[in-house]
């Protein structure tokens, strides 16, 4: 954990943003509330306050799901967010429900890489390994999607432990060097979301210490 980051301060800021959005609750506020709740949950996770973080991550997923009714058909970041938040929180049942929803939206047939990413995450969460492998393979062939994420997704689906280890390590390194994060909360959330999927597939590896990951 990065001692230079004021995680408590980030949590307090994100909580205030959630409270402000809920005080003016309308369709335009739902994504903003979801983003802030997610930032709050990640901040609490970095503080080691795991149970509290799960509550906030669940709130984020709920708001993102609600926001879909007011979104365009290609707003794939919202179903992706619901799945990732649920996986990080350890809410397995919710993650599966959101995954089925993402597939019902047509993510497997999406032309955009972000849509295919939603499909790959959903298929992995539902343990549909051959289908997940196919979805991830379509991402590996693209230049407009992060290769490390595509490799990690494919390796989980293909039961390739060494490939997953290389992919997730590259993901963490990319988070250590980037400057932009959702809500400016510097956490390698993609790596955290993949951990339970890799563990279920039997290719899980421990992640080394990083300022972008919780200490435990």
Cα separation, 155 vs 148, in Å, equals: 10
Domain that holds residue 195: 7-201
In this predicted structure, the answer to whether residue 6 has a pLDDT above a threshold of 80 is yes
In this predicted structure, the answer to whether residue 84 has a pLDDT above a threshold of 60 is yes
- pLDDT (tens digit, 9 = 90+) per residue, 123-181? 999 999 999 999 999 999 899 999 999 999 999 999 999 999 999 999 999 999 999 99
Instruction: Grade residue 98 by pLDDT with cuts at 50, 70 and 90.
Output: very high
CATH value at residue 88: 1.25.40
Contact in structure between 193 and 88 (CB atoms under 8 Å): yes
Q: Is 206 within a domain?
A: no
DSSP 8-state code for residue 197: H
Instruction: Grade residue 186 by pLDDT with cuts at 50, 70 and 90.
Output: very high
* Residue from 97, 122, 98, 96 nearest 109 by CA: 122
In this predicted structure, the answer to whether residue 75 has a pLDDT above a threshold of 70 is yes
Q: Is 84 within a domain?
A: yes
DSSP codes of every residue in 95-128: HHHHHHHHHHTTGGG-SSHHHHHHHHHHHHHTT-
Backbone angles phi, psi at 31, to 5 degrees: -65, -45
Cα separation, 24 vs 37, in Å, equals: 15
In this predicted structure, the answer to whether residue 2 has a pLDDT above a threshold of 70 is no
Share of the chain above pLDDT 70, in %: 98
Q: Is 216 within a domain?
A: no
Q: Is 30 within a domain?
A: yes
Q: Is 210 within a domain?
A: no
Domain count of the chain?
1
Helices (H), 68-188: 77-89, 92-104, 113-125, 129-140, 147-157, 161-177
């Amino acid at each position: 954990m990065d001692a230079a980051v004021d995680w408590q301060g980030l949590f307090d800021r994100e909580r205030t943003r959630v409270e402000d959005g809920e005080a003016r609750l309308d369709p335009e506020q739902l994504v903003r509330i979801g983003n802030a709740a997610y930032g709050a949950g990640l901040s609490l996770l970095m503080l080691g306050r795991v149970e509290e973080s799960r509550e906030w991550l669940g709130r984020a997923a709920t708001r993102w799901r609600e926001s879909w009714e007011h979104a365009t058909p290609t707003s794939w970041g919202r179903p992706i967010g619901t799945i990732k938040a649920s996986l990080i929180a350890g809410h397995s049942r919710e993650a599966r429900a959101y995954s089925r929803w993402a597939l019902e939206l047509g993510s497997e047939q999406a032309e955009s890489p972000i849509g295919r990413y939603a499909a790959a995450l959903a298929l992995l969460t539902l343990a549909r390994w051959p289908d997940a492998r196919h979805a991830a393979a379509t991402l590996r062939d693209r230049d407009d999607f992060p290769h490390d994420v595509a490799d990690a997704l494919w390796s989980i689906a293909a039961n390739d432990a060494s490939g997953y280890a290389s992919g997730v390590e590259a993901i963490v390194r990319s988070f250590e060097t980037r400057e932009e994060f959702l809500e400016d909360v510097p956490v390698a959330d993609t790596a955290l979301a993949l951990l339970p999927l890799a563990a279920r597939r039997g290719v899980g590896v421990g992640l080394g210490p990083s300022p972008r990951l919780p200490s435990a």
